[in-house]
Amino acid sequence: AQKVTQAQTEISVVEKEDVTLDCVYETRDTTYYLFWYKQPPSGELVFLIRRNSFDEQNEISGRYSWNFQKSTSSFNFTITASQVVDSAVYFCALSESPGTASKLTFGTGTRLQVTL
């Protein structure tokens, strides 16, 4: 069975600090997809990134970066120079391989609070 673990329940940082959100996953599939979603107070989940299991390249998008390490089954997310608008709940998620319905297994989420 698939499982996603986000050990950090809540993180508080002061604006401009860097913060890393951890994600560890378990799956028996050889082909799988990992995602990060942001859920601001308004409720909708906002897609941030998708990474497939064959692509271990790290990715940077502005202040966001992701570190995918298959050897440790981790897909960590770093926000550089955090801002108040980054305050949200962040979910890491895992999806089964193509050919089946897109069923996301979500982690329990990490609530990030960025203060001035």
Partner 1 sequence: DTEVTQTPKHLVMGMTNKKSLKCEQHMGHRAMYWYKQKAKKPPELMFVYSYEKLSINESVPSRFSPECPNSSLLNLHLHALQPEDSALYLCASSQDSWNTGELFFGEGSRLTVL
- Please report whether residue 71 would count as binding partner 1 according to CB under 8 A: no
Min dist CB 5 to partner 1, Å, is 12
- Please report whether residue 103 would count as binding partner 1 according to CB under 8 A: yes
Q: Which is nearer to partner 1, 25 or 109 (CB)?
A: 109
- Please report whether residue 98 would count as binding partner 1 according to CB under 8 A: yes
Checking DSSP bridges between strand 19-21 and strand 74-79, what pairing results, if any?
antiparallel
Residue 88 backbone phi and psi in degrees, to 5: 180, 175
- Please report whether residue 28 would count as binding partner 1 according to CB under 8 A: no
Task: Provide the 10 A C-beta neighbour count for residue 104.
Answer: 15
Selected range binding partner 1 among 12-20, 61-69, 79-87, 97-105, rule: CB under 8 A: 97-105
Positions touching partner 1 (CB under 8 A) are: 33, 35, 37, 42-47, 50, 91, 95-104, 106-109
